Amino acid sequence: MSRRSIFRFVAVVVLAGVAWLLRSGEVGPRAVASAQPSSFVVAQPQLESSDDVREPPLDVATPEAAPSEAETSTAPIDNAAIVEKRPPSVGFDGVFTSPGGSLVSLENAQVVFRGDRAPSRVIAIERGVQLLVLDLEPDLYTVDVNADGVVHRTQRFDLSDPASAPTTRGTRVTPLFSGRVVPTFSEPLYVWPAEWVAVVAHTRDGRAFTAIADKLTMEPRRLFVGAFDVRVRLTAPGLDAQAQGESGVAVFRPPPRYQSWELPGSAVGSLELLQEPPMWIGLDVFGLPLGWKRLAPGAHEVGFVLDASDLEPRFATLALHVTNAAGAPATDARVTLRADTSAHRREDQGDVAPDSDGRVEFTRIVPGRYEFVIECAGSLYQDRLVLAASEHRDLGTIKLSTGAGIDVQVIDAAGQPVRAWIEIGPYSHGARTEDLYPPNLNRTTDGAGRYRLPLPTTTSIVRATPLEVGSYRSDFHRRSTSALVDPAAPPRSPLTLVVALAVTLELDIRMPGEIAVVDELGLVAYSISLHGSQLVRTALPPGLYLVRRAATASELVFETSVEIVHDVLRVEVR
């Protein structure tokens, strides 16, 4: 027998041994890997036969010409190359989570994966808060969790594209082929504990409420993030749709994830019950009541009907007329309505051009707080707007400035240029700084710390926050103080903003009251309301400040000036 034939014979024997091990149950457990902690369950496939190993078959030798020396080489098998030929698989890393976002430990549970095309999988869990499955065929899966003491609403996961998986995991495949990297999807598996109830909304024709977004041609998150709230009563509200809720009955928990608008099964959120039903549940949409439903004892959900016709009258509208300094329609201006809540920011509300008469109208505005900006040829108009549900506001005519921009230069304490974000907001004496500056960072200096700022129409404040090196994240440990820009007397030379490391200010507060730290422009840089003595800390850019304590909103009882330089400064507030 040739060396090549011997080698092939040995390989077949080894593979047969592997198949026998798999059948005997020593490799590839179906549910729990004993090496893992009790809170972490790993599921791998139960291979039914040697065919399930799915390794490439060995060629059968034929009595042809004698093999060359290269063909009879005894080089080791390339395991990596063989593994790459296996059919693709994906992983699922699920965490059992309450609708409020906390972890839930399950006992004696089953998780069922039903693929649209892939075979179903049932995974048993003795105890754990997490489930890791590393051998699923790429597909769309319907997942159900069955366990005592909790209710799971069917979830749907798209695991069809391994390239889109955000993480990868390693897994043992067989004793011969190990360390395979599996594209893994990480998702929460929401389970409702016994004292939690789902608040559900469907359209009148029984579809999930997110179908309303499709009808309005809007993304669901632009419409529904933060849109819902709940009131709860033990007594019936009668015919009063706006009846107030009662405290101590239940706590409403909206979807816990950032920019999330829905829990499984068309749930807009959940109620953590503090008292036993029956009780009455009222759903608010954009702050306005939709209706009341009775929650019966033992119920796991309470349902409401919501359609586009319910949302339309709740949207706000905004109208305005834009002119240039000469009073002519500013058709070359661009108007932006930018929501403070990033989920509500929409492309159709950015850089909107006025019509031939200089008029602009925004419709279907989700109620909330917005930055309102008009820019045109070096001039800037800016305001902060809070638009309520069903509000129709007309700003009238807005006349822009002459259009001469301002050169801004950002440097550090040593005079070196700094690349930074430039923030600008309307000035209002006595207001909180953070209420004036919009939360949207969208103006950046060049590498030399320079920026051409449009001239504001009204008196404004400007500051700079350095960018982290090689990143668009901000270094909030360093920042400039606010500078005042008066369009009636704009700076002739570049406006220089000096960024410096923030310094800790310790306030040793001995008496209750409203505490405020005010900067040189009369803006509140820090404030806190206390009912007793306490030591509080804040970090502020170096500069001159006033520390004040007021017993009431109009009664100032303590004030002292401080200069923050570079060391921690402690101030006693009496």
Q: Where are the domains of the chain?
A: 3-192, 195-312, 315-399, 406-501, 503-573
Single-letter residue type at 515? I
- Cα–Cα dist 409/419, whole Å: 10
**The predicted structure's pLDDT at residue 171:** 55
Q: Which of 248, 250, 253, 275 has the alpha carbon at shortest distance from 98? A: 253
Please tell me whether residue 317 adopts helix, strand or coil conformation: strand
Instruction: Count CB-CB contacts under 10 A for residue 219.
Output: 17
- Cα–Cα dist 32/9, whole Å: 35
- Cα–Cα dist 549/560, whole Å: 9
**The predicted structure's pLDDT at residue 177:** 42
Instruction: Count CB-CB contacts under 10 A for residue 486.
Output: 12
* pLDDT tens digits, one per residue of 411-438: 999 999 999 999 999 999 999 998 999 9
* Domain 3-192, CATH class in plain words: mainly beta
Burial (CB count within 10 angstroms: exposed 0-12, middle 13-18, buried 19+), residue 216: middle
3-state helix, strand, coil in the chain (%, to 5): 10, 45, 45
- Cα–Cα dist 183/162, whole Å: 6
* pLDDT tens digits, one per residue of 489-545: 888 889 999 999 999 999 998 888 899 999 999 999 999 998 888 899 999 999 999
Q: 256-279 b/e with 16+ CB inside 10 Å = b?
A: beeebbbbbbbbbbbbbbeeebeb
The CATH number of 315-399, from 1.10.3720.10, 2.60.40.10, 3.50.50.60, 3.30.830.10, is: 2.60.40.10
User: Are 340 and 439 a contacting pair, CB within 8 Å?
Assistant: yes
Q: ω into residue 456 within 30 of 0, thus cis? A: no
* Regions of the chain with pLDDT less than 50: 7, 10, 12-16, 18-40, 44-85, 172-177
Cα 440 from chain centroid (whole Å) = 15
Instruction: Count CB-CB contacts under 10 A for residue 93.
Output: 17
Can 3-192 and 406-501 be said to share one CATH topology? yes
Architecture of domain 406-501: Sandwich (2.60)
**The predicted structure's pLDDT at residue 492:** 80
Please tell me whether residue 97 adopts helix, strand or coil conformation: strand
Element (H or E) spanning 212, and its range?
A: helix 211-215
The strand pair at 450-453 and 406-411 is best described as antiparallel
Q: Is the dihedral of CA 231, 232, 235, 236 positive or negative?
A: positive
Q: What is the CA angle 241-255-203, rounded to 5?
A: 50
- Cα–Cα dist 305/211, whole Å: 12
Main-chain dihedrals φ then ψ at residue 342, nearest 5 degrees: -60, -30
What's the CATH fold of domain 503-573? Immunoglobulin-like (2.60.40)
Q: What is the pTM of this model?
A: 0.76
**The predicted structure's pLDDT at residue 573:** 85
- Cα–Cα dist 132/95, whole Å: 9
**The predicted structure's pLDDT at residue 21:** 42
Total residues belonging to the chain: 574
Q: Who's near 110: CB < 8 A, 6+ residues apart?
A: 122, 123, 124, 125, 145, 146, 147
Q: What is the CA angle 87-88-90, rounded to 5?
A: 140
Element (H or E) spanning 342, and its range?
A: none
- Cα–Cα dist 419/471, whole Å: 11
Element (H or E) spanning 3, and its range?
A: helix 3-24
**The predicted structure's pLDDT at residue 471:** 58
